[in-house]
Chains A and B, each alone.
Chain A
């Protein structure tokens, strides 16, 4: 049976949904262990047991967060060696991918990013070229390193819980010597809305919102959706850069993407065209976004969005 190691970085008080997805996938592929960085709260320990984790590894040092990725990769490489892992799974965040990148070199292991599914033989499925191809990729090395996109696995606890054993992994000395140091960190204020990358519904606004994201946010809240934006809107400062969807922003594939006042440039499409259903509102009937919309409305966002919001509130009572 394959040995699978899952990296979980600073879970805080409880495991995120994407971490539960990693644990579920790991268990489906073999015997699972977790390499943890950060605190191990009681709730997190309970989730590990519930999700069938056999071993929980923790680093011998506490300062991994003070550096950019390199020492975390060194820790994870040591953890993979000590557990004899065949597959290492990480989340698909920018940092997850970078740790995977360095880990791959340390373990002489092939790395596949943006994975949506893994077959029993370790073949990974992913889409490339902005969602225009579905591919199957496999590491040809003894160990493979995979980063899993959120929302592609349904979290499911194990049939019977485990009693995970906790051990410490010695982080190799000198792994911080050539690492960039984080000298300041500013926390951002949480919006209270769902996370853009794994929201079921996204309402996104573009230059057509003309400085007023209110109608986008109100529709998003009526639908319980996350707020997205085009680069034109984030560059103008109407909304935080974190909301940008596209080639240089986030890639999303929600059940529903509502595009409002966005023309549908190739870089914007790169981040949203794998959404299940796309709705577009734009006053220009020639906008390229209509080429990919399941339901398109040629109209003014300042008429259509508030009317839809009011109607949803009315129907939901």
Chain B
């Protein structure tokens, strides 16, 4: 039997991309009224659950902790993670966190991970579907002084050794690191499961711990708008694209396509 693992999965509550998304208010932050668990974080959760299950799951003492930093609504991302199978939830929330950029977010998340103690693995999504910067995993690794294995399309853990595959444009790499480590996973790594009825019932009994900045020993001045190292000075909505000419093929649409390209000087 393998040793048990304590895994933290970072889950973010993000505006649903199926609706129009808006930037507004102080610092042009994203409007979070229609928000969901970032779908790319479901791959991180699935990867964590598979590692835990291979070691006997929660019965054997494996922990999969869903950690989210965000306003009150972010608890929904944690609840969904518990329904899918995380063993417990941690919600880092504090008014002073509003407006945090990646540097400030990684500072707060690093303090939360330290506060949880003895974490073997932090698994994240490849990017948040709102910020889309992919900065947080690498900055978290730098802050925690841990190896970073990002964009993993496969992940294996054997004792305290981790092996992952990364696919870049010109090459594929096999990467090795020792635990503890920070890993981000791509959407190629697995097929995330859906919450089932049993999971939804079981989630009701799982605990969610709420942490404030004081709980994790972070000075409010280091995060939020004041602690961020970047500021958004302007944001303008682009006019949405509009439909152009639509034709139905009557046997010569290929030729009409070339005429259009010639007109646009694209040939």
On A, residues with C-beta under 8 Å from B are: 68-70, 73, 94-95, 97-98, 100-102, 104-106, 108-114, 123, 127-141, 178-188, 190, 201, 223, 241-242, 247-248, 255-256, 266-267, 270, 273, 277-279, 281, 285, 290-300, 303-312, 315-316
Contacts and interface: CB of A to CB of B under 8 A. Distances in A.
Determine which residue in B138, B151, B172 has the highest number of CB atoms from chain A within 10 A of its CB, and name it.
B138
Given A104-B139, A128-B23, A132-B238, A299 B134 contact: no
A303 B264 contact: no
A295 B245 CA distance: 5
Given A68-B148, A113-B135, A137 B231 contact: yes
Contact of B266 (A73, A180, A248, A255): A255
B2 interface: no
A236 B187 CA distance: 14
Interface string B234-264: 1111101101111111011111111011101
Contacts of B134: 94, 97-98, 101, 113
Contacts of B147: 68, 70, 178-180
B interface majority secondary structure? mixed
B83 interface: no
Interface in B7-46: 17-18, 20-21, 23, 28, 30, 40
Nearest to A247: B129
Interface residues on B, range: 35 or more
Interface stretch (B50-58, B66-74, B163-171, B200-208): B163-171
A interface majority secondary structure? mixed
Contact of B243 (A292, A300, A309): A292
Contacts of B143: 105
A50 to B, nearest CB: 26
Given A73-B142, A94-B151, A110-B101, A311 B230 contact: no
A101 B21 CA distance: 26
Nearest to A294: B244
A133 B142 contact: no
A248 B17 contact: no
Contacts of A123: 233
B22 to A, nearest CB: 8
B244 A293 contact: yes
